[in-house]
Amino acid sequence: MREDLQAHIDELMKQYRTKRSQLQDLQRQMGSAQATVEAADGMVTVTVGAQGRLSGLEFDPRVYRKLSPSELAECVLAAVNEAAAQVGDQVRAVLEPLVPTDTSDGGVGRTDLSKVLPERPDDLDAMKERYGLRDK
């Protein structure tokens, strides 16, 4: 019985290390998400990083002759919003396999974090099922 217990502990540790490695990869992927968008026929280029923050902004010198200040501001904001949406899509795509969704409302599905863990942490049967433990 002691060997069975040790084998089970070893298997759980292996699963833990695998999941930890997957989370580290996930964190790297999320941290490297970025998007670059061009606007106004290439006159404006914006880059948005992983946190949705503007990390780069370039203007073609001709932009000042073609766009008024208000048009330029509007163009920059639209490009930043588009790049931020693209970064959000990248992050969602990385997270999608890990987070359950609820499609019971007939819609596309919403992230339902409550399904990641059982409703009651003291529900022994749910914990056994989740972690593959069996009664002997």
Tell me, yes or no, whether 96 lies in a domain.
Answer: yes
Rounded distance, CA 61 to CA 58, Å? 9
3-state secondary structure of 107: coil
- Looking at the domain assignment, is residue 116 inside a domain? yes
Tokens matching residue 102: 């609820």
Q: What is the pLDDT of residue 57?
A: 97
We report the CATH number of the domain holding residue 116 as: 3.30.1310.10
| Residue 96 structural domain | 32-131
In a domain, 46, yes or no: yes
CB atoms within 10 A of CB 109: 13
Would you state the pLDDT for residue 110? 61
Q: What is the pLDDT of residue 54?
A: 95
Does 119 fall in a domain?
yes
Say if residues 96 and 105 touch (Cβ distance below 8 Å): no
pLDDT at 10: 86
Assigned domain for 14 exists:
no
The pLDDT averaged over each successive group of 10 residues in the chain (136 residues) is 81 84 86 94 95 94 94 96 95 78 58 58 62 61
- In a domain, residue 43? The reply is yes
Inside any domain, residue 82? yes
Residue 59: its pLDDT value, please?
Answer: 97
Rounded to the nearest 5 percent, the helix, strand and coil shares of the chain are 55, 15, 30
**pLDDT score of 126:** 64
Q: How many domains does the chain have?
A: 1
